[in-house]
Amino acid sequence: MADYVVIGGGSSGGVVAARLSEDPNTTVTLLEAGGPGNSKFVSIPGMFAGLIQDYKINKLNWRFRTAPQKKLNNRSLYHPRGKMLGGSSGMNGMVYIRGESGDYDRWSELGNEGWSYDEVLPYFRKAENNERGADDYHGDSGPLHVSNGDESFDFYSAFLASGEKLDYPKTADFNGANREGLGIYQFTTKNGERASVKFCYLDPIMDRKNLDIQVKATVRRIVMEDGRAVAVEYDQDGQTKRVEVGKEVIVSGGAFGSPQILMLSGIGPRDELEKHGITVQHELPGVGENLHDHPDVMFVFKSKKRTGISLGPLGTLKNLAAFYQYFTKRKGWLANPPTAAGGFLRSEPGKNNPDFQLHMVPLPYRNHAHDYMSMIKWGFTMIVNIGHPRSRGRLTLKDANPGSEPNIDLNLLDHVDDLKDMRNAFKVTQEILHGPPLKDKIAKPLYPKRYLDTDAEIDDFLRAEVNHAYHPVGTCKMGRDDMAVVDARLKVRGLANVRVADASIMPEIINGNTNATCIMIGEKAADMIKQDAAA
């Protein structure tokens, strides 16, 4: 028996478990399907490309695949997610971004009391330990380490200079008062190591007597009786086990895991549950709906000089030296996430806010680092994604087996305005990349193979190359309408003691990378649970 059972030890669930167990009189069980996540692939920031590889031996990764995307030439997309303590914070690109203030104000306008920017900012600050120190926007005494990006690759400075020539401002802090412009990101790292939720929140408290962390524990279902969660069943070491619930269950399986777990527990759309022979415990039509992600596209260039990172023969020799440098001094490119330059710009002058994001990678990299022929060259990649896509997909069950992968349909670029915004964002970015001084570093474009002049050419390229930005959200959305799954206190609507806390509760995706927001959601969820227990 545990007072609280948290399902999923990722960016949100790890935070919820850590905060709830601060009270020694409260017992918490955390069930995580993956292992402890102690691998060097996780802790070394530069190993990101290795971590997301789609090989069976990669046990740190769920290695999902989407349904064929009908607006993307019916391509099925690879979707890596972290399967370990720390969840996707143990696998992500570590860019520290919160989104724009209007994103949270919009959540509040949708009827979600307590989620405006002013109300969530204290949780971002509470979580944060920023090496730049505290100010109105930042914290310096939370568990989550945030460090400055390494700007040393020459592609970065050339890109920022090309942007300046076109009057794009430089931005010193993308999480401060004004995020518009180009600059160098901050990252969730500390002293050359990844600062995942496991590293920051769970490692320091592993010896708490009131916190029971079970790894390789895949939840089968929440056992419901009369609208109350009474236990959670999970598979571990070849056996089905059960933990009784004293007070509440918090589902934090991520945007794919959480709706799947709810449906397997009989909570979801009636038709979908009955189709798979699952007894309906509580009908909720919105479970699995509203799935969305940022669509992104990559420009890939071969450079004139051998700078940056390469997996070719000379690059491999340099990389061996980089490993030596890393293990002896925690320095060099492996000590830093290789996506330091980027920013937020407007796809058209008429946009109210910057509406697309850029990430530069000093490696000719594409297709989730599976295009090895690009990576043996020298060069760089520019990733472009729009911030507020309108396309919506859905997650459904393949069958009633908890071990089965769900059907994931992101439905990218389904909405005609998403294609338009991507096209315009592509054009703005193309201008920067083909302008001086960056263009003087380029030997030739690899993807696309030349400057694209017409809308038709750009649209063809987008349909052939657009992918997702690893930011799925929205499948258990917070709100008040009929399709909402949780209320503003993250309680599953109509149930006494089940909450959801993770990326799935976002009613609309934020404009930016999603990890910091998931951590904020974990912080706020834990606070609300404590308040409700004390009331």
Ligand X SMILES: Cc1cc2nc3c(=O)[nH]c(=O)nc-3n(C[C@H](O)[C@H](O)[C@H](O)COP(=O)(O)OP(=O)(O)OC[C@H]3O[C@@H](n4cnc5c(N)ncnc54)[C@H](O)[C@@H]3O)c2cc1C
Among 27, 92, 385, 467, binds ligand X (CB under 6 A): 92
Among 17, 18, 30, 33, binds ligand X (CB under 6 A): 33
- Whichever of 69 and 303 has its CB closer to ligand X, that residue is 69
32 forms part of the interface with ligand X (CB under 6 A): yes
513 forms part of the interface with ligand X (CB under 6 A): yes
Q: Where are the alpha helices (DSSP H) in 85-153?
A: 101-109, 117-127
470 forms part of the interface with ligand X (CB under 6 A): yes
DSSP symbols for 107-118: HHHTT-TT-SHH
82 forms part of the interface with ligand X (CB under 6 A): yes
- Whichever of 97 and 466 has its CB closer to ligand X, that residue is 97
Binding site for FAD: which residues? 92-95, 219
94 forms part of the interface with ligand X (CB under 6 A): yes
For ligand X, the nearest residue by Cβ is 10
CA–CA separation, 298 and 274 (whole Å): 41
CB of 213 to ligand X, least distance (A): 12
Counting Cα atoms < 13 Å in the Cβ hemisphere of 491 gives: 14
Asked if 396 contacts 467 with a C-beta cutoff of 8 angstroms, the reply is no
Name residues contacting ligand X, limited to 515-534 (CB under 6 A).
515-516, 518
* SS3 annotation, 481-529: CCCCCECCCCEECCCCCEEECCHHHCCCCCCCCCHHHHHHHHHHHHHHH
Closest to 281 in 3D by CA, of 290, 289, 273: 273
- Whichever of 127 and 458 has its CB closer to ligand X, that residue is 127
The residues, ordered by sequence, that sit 6+ positions from 138 with a Cβ below 8 Å of its Cβ are: 125, 128, 130, 132, 146, 175, 176
Q: Give the binding range for ligand X (CB under 6 A) out of 221-229, 308-316, 411-419, 507-515.
A: 507-515
Q: Tokens for 179?
A: 């995020």
95 forms part of the interface with ligand X (CB under 6 A): yes
One character per residue 378-407, x = contact with ligand X (rule: CB under 6 A) = ------------------------------
CA–CA separation, 414 and 292 (whole Å): 11
CB of 187 to ligand X, least distance (A): 8
Beta bridge partners of 344: 181, 357
CB of 89 to ligand X, least distance (A): 5
Q: Tokens for 185?
A: 């990101």
- Per-residue exposure over 462-495, b if at least 16 CB sit within 10 Å of its own CB, e if not: bbebbbbbbbbbbbbbbbeeeebbbbbbbbbbeb
CA–CA separation, 379 and 80 (whole Å): 24
Quote the distance between the C-alpha of residue 55 and its chain's center. Answer: 21
- Whichever of 406 and 479 has its CB closer to ligand X, that residue is 406
DSSP symbols for 395-440: EE-SSS-TTSPPEEE--TT-SHHHHHHHHHHHHHHHHHHTSTTGGG
267 forms part of the interface with ligand X (CB under 6 A): no
CB of 52 to ligand X, least distance (A): 5
Annotated active-site residue 471? The verdict is yes
The three-state secondary structure class of 209 is: coil
- Whichever of 81 and 138 has its CB closer to ligand X, that residue is 81
252 forms part of the interface with ligand X (CB under 6 A): yes
Cα Rg of the chain (Å, integer): 22
Name residues contacting ligand X, limited to 215-244 (CB under 6 A).
218-219
CB of 51 to ligand X, least distance (A): 7
Q: Give the binding range for ligand X (CB under 6 A) out of 82-90, 300-308, 384-392, 442-450.
A: 82-90
The bridge status of strand 2-7 relative to strand 467-468 is: unpaired
CA–CA separation, 529 and 249 (whole Å): 11
Among 36, 45, 46, 80, binds ligand X (CB under 6 A): 80
Among 77, 261, 309, 458, binds ligand X (CB under 6 A): 261
- Whichever of 10 and 387 has its CB closer to ligand X, that residue is 10
Quote the distance between the C-alpha of residue 251 and its chain's center. Answer: 17
10 forms part of the interface with ligand X (CB under 6 A): yes
514 forms part of the interface with ligand X (CB under 6 A): yes
- Whichever of 117 and 187 has its CB closer to ligand X, that residue is 187
Q: Out of 145, 294, 388, 471, which one is annotated catalytic?
A: 471
Quote the distance between the C-alpha of residue 517 and its chain's center. Answer: 9
Number of residues this chain uses to bind ligand X (CB under 6 A)? 42
Asked if 168 contacts 345 with a C-beta cutoff of 8 angstroms, the reply is yes
253 forms part of the interface with ligand X (CB under 6 A): yes
Among 19, 63, 71, 81, binds ligand X (CB under 6 A): 81
341 forms part of the interface with ligand X (CB under 6 A): no
- Whichever of 200 and 516 has its CB closer to ligand X, that residue is 516
Q: Which residues are catalytic?
A: 471
For binding to ligand X (CB under 6 A), which residues are involved?
Answer: 7-13, 31-34, 52, 80-83, 87-89, 91-95, 97, 218-219, 252-255, 257, 261, 470-471, 502-503, 513-516, 518
